[in-house]
């Protein structure tokens, strides 16, 4: 479904025809915005015919999923961006593509979804302030990029909160369930970083690359978007460090628990071995042994073994082994 918006200095018109779009955008403050939702090959054919879009960019729009990239042509450029949101089960991320075509007097947003929060926000901004069209189509690209980056901050902040909570949990009780949560959180962090990495490069390129219809002011806008992406990546790197520290805490906790178990088993083995040594003497074929023929021999041997055991425990305690 294709919707069209014509923005002038005083008003915003909807559903304008595309047949004579070049005449509609004549003047200093005119911008045509074409928004295509539930994108189909037929819609792309219409847009390609009206705006002369390059075949390479059209092929990219039809692919199932491509790494975000930027192509520049003689009268327009094409950007493929990734919109990342929460998945339906809140255990991962859902990524959708946003295709942008921008010329001097037009901008085209295309997506295969029916709804797109990024495009809706930017369009609403233009509808409420149509005079914004005086800043050119590249400013619309900036608004889209800004709204796109703003979506990422809640996702990263939620990961940060979960990583901090998991670290505290690891300090209290490091068990297999905590390790499972740690693994899941690391996978989600890596997944988000994988989505955002190529887009950071695109915003960096937009802040440095020369386009025929790009003014110096617009470079500052994209530098601002790029700086926000750098901040997001700093937050992601911090999360990765927290998770690495949590893994170290888990491994240390497991090692400490193992040491405690080995210590208890070792002490028990020494005590039992000592008792076995004492009782072993009375199993020998000797006649002259202490208390061998005494009527209280059993009681005396038990008292002796108890005394030896108590003495060993006191010695272990003095050495801080228990």
Sorted by where each begins, the domain ranges of the chain are 2-252, 260-318
The structure's pTM equals: 0.76
Tokens 């004579």, residue located: 20
Partners of 35 in the β-ladder: 3, 109
Tokens 């070049």, residue located: 22
4-29, pLDDT tens digit by residue? 888 888 888 888 888 888 888 887 77
Tokens 């450029």, residue located: 77
278 closest CA partner among 297, 264, 296: 297
201-254, pLDDT tens digit by residue? 888 888 877 777 666 677 788 888 899 999 999 999 999 999 988 888 888 888
Question: CB-hemisphere CA count at 13 Å for 53?
Answer: 26
What is the rounded distance in angstroms from the CA atom of residue 70 to the CA atom of residue 49?
Answer: 21
DSSP character for 296?
Answer: T
Edge-to-edge strands, sheet with 106-110: 12-14, 2-7, 31-36, 106-110, 93-103, 76-86, 69-72
pLDDT at 108: 92
At 134, which helix (H) or strand (E)?
Answer: none
The yes-or-no verdict on residue 64 having pLDDT over 80 is no
- The alpha carbon of residue 66 and the mean position of all alpha carbons in its chain are separated, in whole angstroms, by 19
pLDDT at 231: 92
Between 89 and 172, whose confidence is greater? 172
Mean pLDDT of the chain: 84
Q: Where are the beta strands (DSSP E) in the chain?
A: 2-7, 12-14, 31-36, 69-72, 76-86, 93-103, 106-110
Instruction: Note the CATH architecture for domain 2-252.
Output: 2-Layer Sandwich (3.30)
Taking residues 295-322, what's their average pLDDT? 78
CB atoms within 10 A of CB 243: 21
What is the rounded distance in angstroms from the CA atom of residue 260 to the CA atom of residue 83?
Answer: 49
CATH of domain 260-318: 1.20.58.340
């Amino acid at each position: 479904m294709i919707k069209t918006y014509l923005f002038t200095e005083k008003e915003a018109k909807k559903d304008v025809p595309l047949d004579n779009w070049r005449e509609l955008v004549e003047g200093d403050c005119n911008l045509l915005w074409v928004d295509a939702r539930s994108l189909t090959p037929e819609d792309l054919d219409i847009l390609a015919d009206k705006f002369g879009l390059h075949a390479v960019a059209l092929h990219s729009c039809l692919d199932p999923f491509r790494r975000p990239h930027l192509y520049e042509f003689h009268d327009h450029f094409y950007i493929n961006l990734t919109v990342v949101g929460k998945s339906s089960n809140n255990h991962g991320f859902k990524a959708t593509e946003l295709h942008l075509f921008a010329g001097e007097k037009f901008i085209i947003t295309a997506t295969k979804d029916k709804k797109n929060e990024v495009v809706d926000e930017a369009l609403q901004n233009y509808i409420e302030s149509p005079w914004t069209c005086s800043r050119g189509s590249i400013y619309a690209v900036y608004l889209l990029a800004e709204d796109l980056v703003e979506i990422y901050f809640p996702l990263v902040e939620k990961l940060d909160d979960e990583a901090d909570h998991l670290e505290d949990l690891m300090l209290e009780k490091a068990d297999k369930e905590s390790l499972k949560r740690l693994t899941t959180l690391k996978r989600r962090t890596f997944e988000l970083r994988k989505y955002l990495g190529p887009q950071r490069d695109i915003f960096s390129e937009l802040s440095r690359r020369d386009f025929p219809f790009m003014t110096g002011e617009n470079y500052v806008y994209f530098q601002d978007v790029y700086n926000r992406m750098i901040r997001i990546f700093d937050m992601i790197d911090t999360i990765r460090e927290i998770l690495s520290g949590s893994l170290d805490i888990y491994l240390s906790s497991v090692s400490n628990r193992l040491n405690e178990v080995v210590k208890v088993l070792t002490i028990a083995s020494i005590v039992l071995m000592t008792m076995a040594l004492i009782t072993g003497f009375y199993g020998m074929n000797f006649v002259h042994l202490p208390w061998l023929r005494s009527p209280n021999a059993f009681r005396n041997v038990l008292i002796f073994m108890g005394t030896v055991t108590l003495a060993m425990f006191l010695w272990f305690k003095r050495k801080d082994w228990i």
